[in-house]
Structure 1
Amino acid sequence: MADVNTIRTAAGTRAAQIDEGLRAHMNKVYGTMSVGMLITFAAAWAISGLAVTTDPAAAVAQIGTDKYLTQLGATLYTSPLKWVIMFAPLAFVFGFSAGINRMSAATAQTVFYAFAAVMGLSISSIFLVFTGYSIAQVFLITAIAFAGLSLWGYVTKRDLSGMGTFLIMGVIGLIVASIVNIFLASSAMAFAISVIGVLIFAGLTAYDTQTIKNNYLAHAHHGDSEWLGKSAIMGALSLYLDFINMFMFLLQLFGNRE
C-alpha cells in the first residue's frame, strides 16, 4: 500500500507541476501578445500623427476638412511604397515562421516585437479613415469577443483540431479575395470578405488557444525550456494575428469613417 500511495502522490505532484507550468506558459503567451498589441497601436497612432497635419503650409495633399497629408503621409499612403507597407507583415510572418528554429527564444521575442511595429505601420491609416471613438469602440468589442473565444478554446473538452485545415484554407481564400478586390473595388465583395473574415478568425482564436495548450501538455515532460519559450512566442504570434485580423474586419463592418 505504501508503494501505491507513493506512486499516487508522485503522480499527483507531477500533475500539479504540469498545471502550474501550463498556467505560466499561457500567461507568457498572453503577456507577449499584449505587449505586441501595445507596440502595434502605439506605432500606428504615432505614425499617423506624423503623416497628418492641420497646417496647409506643411501639406502635400488635402484629405479632409482642415486635414492634410504631410510629405511622410504622402510617401506612406499614396506612393508605390504603400504596396510594400501593405504586404510587409505577411512577408514578415512567413520569414519569422521559417527562421524561428534557428533563433534563440530571446531573439525570437525581439523579432516578434519588431513585427508588431511593422504591423503598426501597415495599419496606421485606420487613424486617417476612421474616427478615434469608433476605433476604441471596435477594439473593446474585439477584446471582449477574443477573451470569450480564447477562454472557450482553453476549457472546452471538444477536439477542435478538425477545424484547423478548414480555417487555414479559409484564410488563404480571404487573402486571395482581398487581393482581387483591391482591383475590383467592390463594396459588396468587401462586405462579404469582412463578415467571413470575422467568422474565420473567431474560429481560429478558439482553435489556436487549444493548440497552444495541447502543444505544451505534449512537450512539458521534456523540460526543454528553450523550446517552450519559442513555443510561447509562436503561440503569442498566432493569437496576435487572430486578434488583429478580427479587429480589422470588425472595423470595416462597424467603424465610423471620418
Structure 2
Amino acid sequence: MAWETSGWQTAESPTANELLMQQSQRTFMTRVYAWMFVGLMITGATAFATVANQAWLSTVLQWRFGLIIAQLGLVLALSGLAPRLSGPVAGALFVLYSALTGTTLSVIFLVYTMGSIGQAFFLAGGVFAAMALYGTFTKKDLDAWKSFLFIGLVGIVLAGVVNLFLSSDGLGFVTACATVLVFAGLTAYDNQKLRQYHASSGFSSAATLSIVGALILYLDFVNLFLAMVRLFGKRR
C-alpha cells in the first residue's frame, strides 16, 4: 500500500478537496430539507387555520379554482425564475406558495376524517423517507427511470382530467395507485439528481439552489400524501 508523505493517509483516502465537496453537499441537502420541512409546516398550519375560520373557508370554497390557478402560476414562476432570483425573494415566494397550498388543501378536512388524514400523512412520510434514503445511498444511476417517470406523470395528469368528467371511483383508485408509484420513484430520483445539480453548479452555496431543491421534494411529498389520502382516507 502506498503512503503519502503528509502522514498516515493512504492513497485510497479522500483528498482535502473531496472532503470539502462532501461537506458542501451535506450542507446543501441539509438546507434543502430544512426549507422543505418549513414549507410543510406552513402548509399544515395554513390548512388548519383555514378550516378553523368559517368565513375564510367559505371564501376559499368560493374561489378555490382561482386559487389553484394562482398556485400553479406561482410554482411555475418560482421554478422558471429561480436562477435569477435572490435568496430572500425565492424564500418569500416559497413561503407564499406553501401557504397557498395549505389554503387550497384545507378542503380535505371537510371530506375525510382527521384520523385517516393523519394516517395518510405518516404513510406518505414512511414511503418518502425510504425512497429518499434509497436515492441517497444507491450506487445505481437512476437516469434510467426518467422516461418511465415522465410517462407515468403525464398519464396521471391525463387520467385526472378525464376523471373530472367521468367521476369514476375505479379510475380514481387506479390513478391514486399510479401516483404513489410515480412520486415514490421521483423521490428517489430527485434526491440523487439534486446532488448532481449541486455539483454541476460548482458546489454553490447560493440559497436559491436550496429553495429550488426544497420545492422539488416538497411537491413529491405533497403528491404522495394526497394519493395516500385518496387510497386510505375515510369519508365523513
Fold conserved between structures, TM > 0.5: yes
Counting matched residue pairs gives 231
Question: Which sections of structure 1, spanning at least 5 residues, go unmatched?
Answer: 52-70
When normalised by structure 1's length, the TM-score is 0.83
Q: Match for 1:41 among 40, 44, 49?
A: 44
Q: Secondary structure at the match of 1:148?
A: helix
CA displacement, residues 105-131 of structure 1 (integer Å, 9 cap, x when unaligned): 221111111110011011110111111
Equivalent residue number for residue 242 of structure 1: 220
User: Aligned residue for 1:112?
Assistant: 94
Contact 2:45 2:102 in 1 (8 A): yes
Structure 2 residue identity aligned to 1:212: L
TM-score of the superposed pair, with normalisation by structure 2: 0.90
**Secondary structure at the counterpart of residue 235 of structure 2:** coil
1:165: how far off?
3.1
Quote the Cα distance in structure 2 between the aligned partners of 1:14 and 1:48: 51
Identity, % of aligned positions: 34
Q: Deviations over 1:45-73 (max 9, x none)?
A: 1101113xxxxxxxxxxxxxxxxxxx543
CA distance in 1, matches of 2:13, 2:187: 35
Q: Say which SS state the counterpart of residue 143 (structure 2) adopts.
A: coil
From 203, 214, 236, the counterpart of 2:196 = 214
Change in Cα spacing, 1:99 to 1:217, as seen in structure 2 (3 Å) is closer
Q: CA deviation at 1:166?
A: 2.6
The answer to whether structure 1 residue 75 and structure 2 residue 59 are counterparts is yes
Q: Does the C-alpha gap of structure 1 residues 111 and 157 become closer, same or farther in structure 2, counting only changes over 3 Å?
A: same
Cα RMSD over matched residues? Answer: 2.1
Q: CA deviation at 1:137?
A: 1.4
**Structure 2 residue 159 is the aligned partner of structure 1 residue 180:** no
Pairwise CA distance, 1:240:
0.4
**Alignment gaps of 5+ in structure 2:** none
Paired residue for 1:140?
122
- With over 3 angstroms needed to count, the CA separation of the structure-2 counterparts of 1:100 and 1:257, relative to structure 1, is same
Among 61, 67, 70, the alignment partner of 1:85 is: 67
Distance 1:234 1:242 in 2: 13
**Is 2:228 aligned against 1:225?**
no
CA contact (8 A) 2:74 2:97 kept: yes
Deviation at 1:180, TM superposition (A): 2.2
Q: Distance in 1 between matches of 2:117 and 2:144?
A: 34
Q: Which residue of 2 aligns with 1:60?
A: none
Report whether the alignment pairs 1:17 with 2:20.
Answer: yes
Instruction: Flag the 1:135–1:98 CA change in 2: closer, same or farther, 3 A.
Output: same
SS of the equivalent of 2:15 reads helix
Larger radius of gyration: 1
Distance 1:203 1:224, change over 3 A: closer
3-state SS of 1:225 partner: coil
